[in-house]
Amino acid sequence: MADAIDTLKNILGDDAEDKIKNVMSSLSSSQTSLPTEMNNDGLEQIMQVKNIFDSISQNRNDPRTNLLLSLKPYMRGGRQKSIDSAVKLLGLTNITKLLRK
């Protein structure tokens, strides 16, 4: 999950932490309406973040990822690290597919 947050920070740019905090605070507030200062760009960014998190969770259902993770216990340490890297790369490919849309 920490890698996903780092990837998200890279996608959002320089003030990524502030953007994430603003989105999280607006989502966690008890108000049913969005703040008036939030424009269409802000809503689009929120939807992109949501899609990214959805794609990360879908990565767990990916048969390629499941195969690699099932083989991992039978590999030596160096190969286990390579499998971890491959699983992360598969997650990043899902994110890049979303960014193309």
- Give per-residue pLDDT as tens, 61-75: 788 889 999 999 999
**pLDDT of 86 over the 80 cut:** yes
Q: Which tokens belong to 49? A: 């973040």
Cα–Cα distance measured from residue 8 to residue 16, given in angstroms and rounded to the nearest whole number? 8
- Flag whether the pTM goes above 0.75: no
The answer to whether 83 and 71 have CB atoms below 8 angstroms apart is yes
The answer to whether 39 and 27 have CB atoms below 8 angstroms apart is no
Cα–Cα distance measured from residue 78 to residue 26, given in angstroms and rounded to the nearest whole number? 43
Span of 13-22, 52-61, 77-86 with lowest mean pLDDT: 52-61
Cα–Cα distance measured from residue 8 to residue 18, given in angstroms and rounded to the nearest whole number? 12
* pLDDT recorded at residue 81: 94
Contacts of 27 (CB under 8 A, 6+ apart): 46
More confident residue, 29 or 7: 7
State percent of the chain over pLDDT 70.
Answer: 63
